[in-house]
Amino acid sequence: MRPIERAEFYLLEKILKGFCPPGSNLLGERKFESIVGVTRSNLRKALRRIEKDGWVKIQQGKPIIINNYWQTGEINILSSMDRLEIDLTIRIVDGLLEARATIAPFS
């Protein structure tokens, strides 16, 4: 796996497994850089990719915020999960059950 893909996979895995929940701030670049073992340049490219897909919101001089991808995500979210082969079976089932409960509450 190339460094950019490795960084992207690591970031998305942390987001999807709930270590970085929607609305929270992502760790600083320096921490991710050392944890993932990629250069800051490659980390920034990975961050731009996931921002483009709708996972995070990046504003200069502010912390990176995790978007609520279950509510605002588009097809690019699924595309990036497929491209990185991230298994989300349990999370998807939970999401479907939550949607079902919202649409047709249990009586």
pLDDT for residue 48: 94
For the segment 23-34, what is each residue's pLDDT rounded down to a tens digit?
999 988 888 888
**Contacts of the segment 34-40: beta carbons below 8 A, 24+ positions apart:** 35/10, 36/6, 36/7, 36/10, 37/6, 38/3, 38/4, 38/6, 38/7, 39/3
pLDDT for residue 44: 94
**CATH classification code of 3-103:** 1.10.10.10
pLDDT for residue 106: 66
- Which of the residues in the chain have pLDDT under 70? 83-94, 106-107
- pTM of structure: 0.73
pLDDT for residue 90: 60
pLDDT for residue 25: 95
Distance from C-alpha of 44 to C-alpha of 30, rounded to nearest angstrom: 11
